[in-house]
């Protein structure tokens, strides 16, 4: 079974379309690690698409903020502007769907899904210490996480934690990771709607655990078209510009 792993879509409909085109329906089931909305110009379109696809989705901090389940005091000012704008745009049925999203960790189809960390859905996992904290408690060989918008992850075996540099290079669209049964993995598919790892292409993953492979993908999309819609919506300019930098 091939599982399409989506994360941090952040209301970017053009990037999501590019991802689904690249994945070409060569998957059996789709999952999402949260942050469906926030930052981008297409909250209704992106939410509707996930609902149509029947994507098993857990909540991210932006989904919580938009649906009023989390205060925005800790959000930076531009993120807060986007949360307020998104709240005003969302159709009630999509708002209801977002506010009912389950919290991670969620175990499904042989993998575990979390938005931030296994031990805290809102924690950013950047360091091996943070990755190790909780990894050994996971019920699956492979746990997927999002939130940092950095594609890659960590693997663990025999008291040794390894940082995985698995992002496809500029001329490539995917890189494959071979999964060893004796290891534990904490893997980030990267962000679809607002990558921050220096590569502006939309990021996602496909997990084929029957064949012990996880594919990490990057696909280009029409960033200028998204920026135009963001400016028309008067979303903050730093959010518009960071899409090109991928930071």
Binding residues (CB under 5 A) for Fe ion: these are: 8, 35
CB of 208 to Fe ion, least distance (A): 25
Q: Which is nearer to Fe ion, 35 or 121 (CB)?
A: 35
CB of 194 to Fe ion, least distance (A): 7
**Residue whose CB is less far from Fe ion, 8 or 42:** 8
What does the chain look like in DSSP terms, one character per residue?
A: -EEEEE---TT-HHHHHHHHHHHTT--SEEEE-S--SSSSS-HHHHHHHHHHHT-EE---HHHHHHTTSS-STTS-HHHHHHHHHHHHHS-HHHHHHHHTPPPSPEEETTEEE-SS-SS-TT----SHHHHHHHHTT-SSSEEE--SS---EEEEEETTEEEEE--PPPTT-SEEEEEPPTTSEEEEE---SSS--SS--SEEEEEEETTTTEEEEEEE---HHHHHHHHHHTT--HHHHHHHHHT-
Shortest distance in whole angstroms from residue 170 CB to Fe ion:
23
Measured from the CB atom, the residue of 72 and 155 that comes closer to Fe ion is 72
Q: Which residue is nearest to Fe ion (CB)?
A: 35
Q: How far apart are CA 16 and CA 195, in angstroms?
A: 13
The residue (of 55 and 212) whose beta carbon lies closer to Fe ion is 55
Nearer to Fe ion, 179 or 195 (CB): 195
Closest to Fe ion by CB, 8 vs 215, is 8
Q: How far is the CB of 44 from Fe ion (least distance, A)?
A: 18
Q: How far apart are CB 26 and Fe ion at their closest, in Å?
A: 26
CB of 56 to Fe ion, least distance (A): 18
């Amino acid at each position: 079974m091939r599982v399409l792993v989506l994360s941090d879509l952040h209301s970017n409909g053009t990037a999501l379309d590019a991802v689904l085109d690249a994945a070409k329906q060569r998957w059996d089931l789709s999952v999402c690690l949260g942050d469906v909305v926030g930052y981008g110009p297409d909250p209704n379109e992106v939410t509707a698409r996930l609902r149509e696809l029947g994507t098993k989705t857990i909540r991210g901090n932006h989904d919580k903020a938009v649906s009023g389940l989390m205060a925005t005091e800790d959000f930076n000012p531009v993120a807060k502007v986007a949360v307020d704008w998104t709240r005003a745009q969302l159709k009630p049925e999509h708002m209801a769907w977002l506010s009912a999203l389950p919290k991670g960790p969620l175990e499904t189809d042989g993998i575990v899904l979390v938005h931030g960390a296994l031990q805290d859905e809102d924690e950013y996992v950047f360091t091996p210490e943070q990755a190790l904290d909780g990894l050994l408690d996971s019920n699956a060989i492979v746990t997927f996480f999002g939130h940092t918008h950095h594609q890659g992850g960590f693997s663990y075996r025999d008291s040794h934690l390894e940082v995985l540099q698995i992002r496809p290079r500029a001329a490539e669209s995917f890189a494959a990771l071979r999964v060893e049964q004796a290891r534990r993995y904490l893997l980030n598919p990267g962000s679809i709607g607002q990558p921050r790892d220096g590569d502006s292409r939309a990021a996602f993953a496909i997990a084929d655990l029957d064949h012990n492979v996880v594919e990490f993908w990057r696909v280009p999309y029409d960033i200028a078209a998204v920026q135009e819609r963001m400016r028309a919506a008067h979303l903050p300019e730093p959010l518009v510009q960071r899409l090109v930098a991928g930071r």
